[in-house]
Amino acid sequence: MSIRVRFTIFYTLILTGFFLCFGVFSYIIARATLLTGLDATLENTAEQVIASAEVFNQGDITLLRFPEDMDVFQTATLFMMAINEQGEVLAHSSNLEDFDGVLDASTLTTAEPTFSDVSHFNQPIRVYTYPLVLQNSDTQIRIGYLQVAQLLDSYYEALYQLGLVLGLTGGIVFFFFLFLGMITTRSLLRPLGEITAVALQISRADDLGRRLPDDGRRDEIGHLTLALNQTFERLEKLFRNQQRFLADVSHELRTPLTTVRGNIDLMRRMGEYDPELLDIIQDELQRMTRLVGDLLLLARADGGSLPISRLAIDLETTILDVYRQVQPLQTEKNVQVRLGQLTPMRIIGDPDRIKQLLLILVDNAIKYTPAGGEVLVSLARVGNTAVVSVTDNGPGIDVQHIPFIFDRFYRVDKSRTRAQGGSGLGLSIAKWIADVHGGSIRVESKLREGSTFIVTLLAVPQAMTSEASPYDYDDDAEDLVEGENTAVVG
Ligand code: ADP
């Protein structure tokens, strides 16, 4: 059952229910009011009839005489009769001429004035029975009854009319609410239908560039439209990134493969072993191995399956370790790597990954700085963060490239950087490592003057650094075993 039908039924039932309660209540009140009015008429008439009666005392006998006829009080629907204790009719209004017996025999023993409903000639009648009592010195003698009756046809007619009006109005109200519910829910839910239609078109046509029409409404539907459009936008971006990434990967793999195949073909045609060509093949295979390794790392990082240990890391030691490791490269490139101020500091993280991050930055700095250049690595504490900066006086990065420098496969000068062995994945891996440690990475650069890559990581508070005990630093503190924080030192 659709939301629309459910909502309409619910809405109609609730409103009709309210109306029904109101109708029943009105009916009960109206019936009580009519009956009270009717009873008051009967009581008044009885009082008037009694007032017109005459009392005679003859010795011990008391006689009550009613007017010859009671017609002055009768109406077409109002009857009355006086009855003695033996149940004989003493007097009655002339409209009871053809009536035999008493109006209601069942109440002729009552001591109190009583109302009763009877039926004569198939007509409902309300009877008021009033005991006639004579006060004689201190004794009371009941000498008979006065019965005043009223036809109930107009009373029932009035109730019938009221019931009819209420019933008809109830029916009209039910259908009106049903109609109103349908109209309102249709207009309320129409945008949902449109959203579904467009969403289906998007998925059928694989057209993630399409967006739901936003008519500017800021209610729940408007928010849903906005949220879906944002989701589509994100999906489109992810999809495009995925496509670009695949194209880049294929391209990056094809180039070394072509080189390897070409060189093998060449050697085969020459029919001899050429150490120079073999060196090229080896270089390309190394590059490919590195690329595949980086790709695997990023894929596992994306899939969340890359474990990140949380150990205490001595950053100064890690930097010294990186410094030692890049010695051969700096000699080969004739770029001098210097260590600036290194403030002893510890962070919590994965020692291998942090070292990898610093290696990428120092390696890049050496790679892109021309011979004779200089690279400076320093470590400082700023508030509760550890700031590692790697500064070079190389070519710098044009401001237009800076927003994309950490994107996968992004390279400023594709052909030149490739020749230097770069695949464009280093900085994206560095950024992932910084992010996964809750830190950040950014670059400040001036063209032809050099670049500074700045990594900010949450430092272990100074007070704790002085203690040589494992850090109770986060949920994973139990992972920290004294001494393990120096695991990165080779
Ligand atoms: P690559 O493997 O090409 O070095 P990276 O992701 O590490 O990939 O770097 C992306 C691009 O950023 C590089 O291709 C290079 O153009 C630029 N770059 C990175 N570091 C430096 C630097 N220190 N100086 C100048 N350009 C740099």
Q: What is the predicted pLDDT for the residue at 120? A: 84
* Per-residue three-class SS string for the chain: CCHHHHHHHHHHHHHHHHHHHHHHHHHHHHHHHHHHHHHHHHHHHHHHHHHCCEEEEECCEEEEECCCCCCCCCCCCEEEEEEECCCCEEEECHHHCCCCCCCCHHHCCCCCCEEEEEEECCEEEEEEEEEEEEEECCEEEEEEEEEEEEECHHHHHHHHHHHHHHHHHHHHHHHHHHHHHHHHHHHHHHHHHHHHHHHHHHHHHCCCCCCCCCCCCCCHHHHHHHHHHHHHHHHHHHHHHHHHHHHHHHHHHHHHHHHHHHHHHHHHHHCCCCHHHHHHHHHHHHHHHHHHHHHHHHHHHHHCCCCCCCEEEEHHHHHHHHHHHCHHHHHHHCCEEEEEEECCCEEEECHHHHHHHHHHHHHHHHHHCCCCCEEEEEEEEECCEEEEEEEECCCCCCCCCHHHCCCCCCCCCHHHHHHCCCCCCHHHHHHHHHHHCCCEEEEEEECCCEEEEEEEEEECCHHHHHCCCCCCCCCCHHHCCCCHHHCCCC
Q: What is the predicted pLDDT for the residue at 142? A: 81
Higher-pLDDT residue of 135 and 18 is: 18
Q: How far apart are alpha carbons 396 and 98 in whole angstroms?
A: 127
Q: Specify the residue with its C-alpha closest to ligand 1, atom 18.
A: 364
Distance 278 CA to ligand 1 centre (A): 28
Low-confidence winner among 127-136, 196-205, 474-483 (lowest mean pLDDT): 474-483
Low-confidence winner among 32-36, 56-60, 216-220 (lowest mean pLDDT): 56-60
Q: What is the predicted pLDDT for the residue at 61? A: 61
pLDDT digits (tens, 9 = 90+) for 38-75: 999 999 988 888 888 777 766 666 666 776 656 667 77
Q: What is the predicted pLDDT for the residue at 161? A: 93
Q: Ligand 1: which of 411, 432, 453 to mutate, judged by most atoms within 8 Å of the beta carbon?
A: 411
Q: What is the predicted pLDDT for the residue at 469? A: 39
417 lines ligand 1 (CB under 6 A): yes
Low-confidence winner among 161-165, 241-245, 382-386 (lowest mean pLDDT): 241-245
405 lines ligand 1 (CB under 6 A): yes
408 lines ligand 1 (CB under 6 A): no
Beta pairing partners, 437: none
Q: Structure tokens of 451?
A: 């670049």
Q: What is the predicted pLDDT for the residue at 57? A: 67
Tell me the C-alpha to C-alpha distance, in Å, between residue 464 and each of 78, 310, 323, 460, 483.
106, 16, 27, 7, 15
- pLDDT range class, residue 383, cuts 50, 70, 90: very high
Q: Are 256 and 288 in contact (CB under 8 A)?
A: yes
Q: Ligand 1: which of 417, 418, 445, 448 to mutate, judged by most atoms within 8 Å of the beta carbon?
A: 417
422 lines ligand 1 (CB under 6 A): yes
Q: What is the predicted pLDDT for the residue at 182? A: 86
Q: How do beta strands 89-92 and 450-458 pair?
A: unpaired
Q: What is the predicted pLDDT for the residue at 214? A: 79
393 lines ligand 1 (CB under 6 A): no
441 lines ligand 1 (CB under 6 A): no
Name the residue among 392, 397, 391 with its Cα closest to residue 446. 397
424 lines ligand 1 (CB under 6 A): yes
Q: What is the predicted pLDDT for the residue at 199? A: 82
Q: Structure tokens of 485?
A: 């924080």
Alpha carbons within 13 A on the beta-carbon side of 457: 30
Alpha carbons within 13 A on the beta-carbon side of 46: 22
Q: Which atom of ligand 1 is nearest to the CA of 392?
A: 23
Q: Specify the residue with its C-alpha closest to ligand 1, atom 2.
A: 422
Q: Ligand 1: which of 356, 427, 448 to mutate, judged by most atoms within 8 Å of the beta carbon?
A: 427
Q: What is the predicted pLDDT for the residue at 117? A: 92
Q: Ligand 1: which of 290, 295, 358, 368 to mutate, judged by most atoms within 8 Å of the beta carbon?
A: 368
Q: Ligand 1: which of 363, 391, 405 to mutate, judged by most atoms within 8 Å of the beta carbon?
A: 405
Q: What is the predicted pLDDT for the residue at 7? A: 82
- pLDDT range class, residue 476, cuts 50, 70, 90: very low
Name the residue among 112, 36, 32, 39 with its Cα closest to residue 78. 39
Q: What is the predicted pLDDT for the residue at 481? A: 32
- pLDDT range class, residue 84, cuts 50, 70, 90: confident
Q: What is the predicted pLDDT for the residue at 386? A: 97
450 lines ligand 1 (CB under 6 A): no
427 lines ligand 1 (CB under 6 A): yes
Q: What is the predicted pLDDT for the residue at 30? A: 92
Q: What is the average pLDDT score of the chain? A: 85
pLDDT digits (tens, 9 = 90+) for 304-314: 888 899 999 99
Q: Specify the residue with its C-alpha closest to ligand 1, atom 4.
A: 422
- pLDDT range class, residue 463, cuts 50, 70, 90: low
139-143, 146-150, 164-168, 362-366 — most confident range: 362-366
pLDDT digits (tens, 9 = 90+) for 318-360: 999 999 999 999 999 999 999 999 999 999 999 999 999 999 9
Q: Specify the residue with its C-alpha closest to ligand 1, atom 13.
A: 411
Low-confidence winner among 174-183, 365-374, 392-401 (lowest mean pLDDT): 174-183
Q: Specify the residue with its C-alpha closest to ligand 1, atom 14.
A: 411
Distance 401 CA to ligand 1 centre (A): 10
Tell me the C-alpha to C-alpha distance, in Å, between residue 128 and each of 45, 78, 108, 142, 170.
10, 11, 11, 17, 36
451 lines ligand 1 (CB under 6 A): yes
- pLDDT range class, residue 89, cuts 50, 70, 90: confident
Distance 282 CA to ligand 1 centre (A): 23
Q: Which atom of ligand 1 is nearest to the CA of 428?
A: 6
